[in-house]
Amino acid sequence: NAGVTQTPKFQVLKTGQSMTLQCAQDMNHNSMYWYRQDPGMGLRLIYYSASEGTTDKGEVPNGYNVSRLNKREFSLRLESAAPSQTSVYFCASSSSGTGAQPQHFGDGTRLSIL
Amino acid sequence: QKEVEQNSGPLSVPEGAIASLNCTYSDRGSQSFFWYRQYSGKSPELIMSIYSNGDKEDGRFTAQLNKASQYVSLLIRDSQPSDSATYLCAVRNSGGYQKVTFGTGTKLQVIP
């Protein structure tokens, strides 16, 4: 019973490098989300995808891009990493784009930018 | 004003006591409210959802919602050391898509 799976779990990058965080869910959920969590800031929405084929910006989208590859997979890309992007990244999914369903989270990716 | 506000704590309670966690929100049209528990270094885990005014009980947990006063609370009865975690309040806003805004969390410490 995997739920939401994120890879990698840890990553260290140098400033200017690029990388893609992967997320896959096996719950047949329509909506998927990417958050970052920083001390004292709570969870902040980076991008979301209400359904397959659509993506929209959240609260803090600058420096990130996303791809909803199919219903299961939603990836987050950092094109040119900056130290300010050091954070814990969580992917989440929920069953409806307009309903009142709670979100289920992956285990997170701990990313450090040197 | 933050959209969802919580006292960061830490809130310390003795084992066996009732822990009371509070959350206020600014969007009067909010429809759905969630409480998540997050252990240190782990991901948020849903523990309660509440959608209408009043109380909702699930085991040792009770969620309380008062839309007129725009607050939601979580009571944990017979608190255990294993309840020590950060509790996140999340509110689904009244927008057209399922945007959920999270509070910064309240850290709970249950003292044996």
Q: Do A101 and B42 touch (CB under 8 A)?
A: no
**pLDDT value, residue A36:** 97
**pLDDT value, residue B98:** 62
Closest CA of chain A from B98, distance in Å: 5
Q: What is the DSSP letter of A84?
A: G
Residues in Cβ contact with B38 at an 8 Å cutoff, skipping those fewer than 6 apart:
B44, B45, B85, B86, B87, B88, B105
Find out whether A11 and A19 touch, Cβ atoms under 8 Å. yes
pLDDT per position as a tens digit, A65-79: 999 989 999 999 999
Q: Do A31 and B46 touch (CB under 8 A)?
A: no
Find out whether A78 and A18 touch, Cβ atoms under 8 Å. yes
| A50 torsion bin: left (phi>0), alpha (psi -120 to 50), beta (else) | alpha
Q: How far is Cα B1 from Cα A53, in angstroms, rounded to an integer?
A: 34
**pLDDT value, residue A1:** 61
**Banded pLDDT at A109 (limits 50, 70, 90):** very high
DSSP codes joined into one string, B44-98: -EEEEEE-SSEEEEETTEEEEEETTTTEEEEEESS--GGG-EEEEEEEE-SSSS-
**pLDDT value, residue B1:** 61
Helix, strand, coil tally for chain A in percent (to 5): 5, 50, 45
Residue ranges for chain B with pLDDT beneath 50: none
**pLDDT value, residue A4:** 96
Q: How far is Cα A1 from Cα A17, in angstroms, rounded to an integer?
A: 34
**pLDDT value, residue A18:** 96
Instruction: Say yes or no to pLDDT of A100 above 70.
Output: no
Q: Which residues of A touch B88 (CB under 8 A)?
A: 42-43
Residue among A42, A103, A108 whose CB faces B104 most closely: A42
Instruction: Say yes or no to pLDDT of A42 above 90.
Output: no
Residue among A35, A94, A108 whose CB faces B98 most closely: A94
Q: How far is Cα B79 from Cα A50, in angstroms, rounded to an integer?
A: 37
Closest by CA to B48, choosing from B60, B61, B30, is B61
**What backbone phi and psi angles, to 5 degrees, belong to B83?**
-80, -10
Residues in Cβ contact with A13 at an 8 Å cutoff, skipping those fewer than 6 apart:
A19, A78, A81, A111, A112, A113, A114
**pLDDT value, residue A39:** 85
Instruction: Say yes or no to pLDDT of A17 above 60.
Output: yes
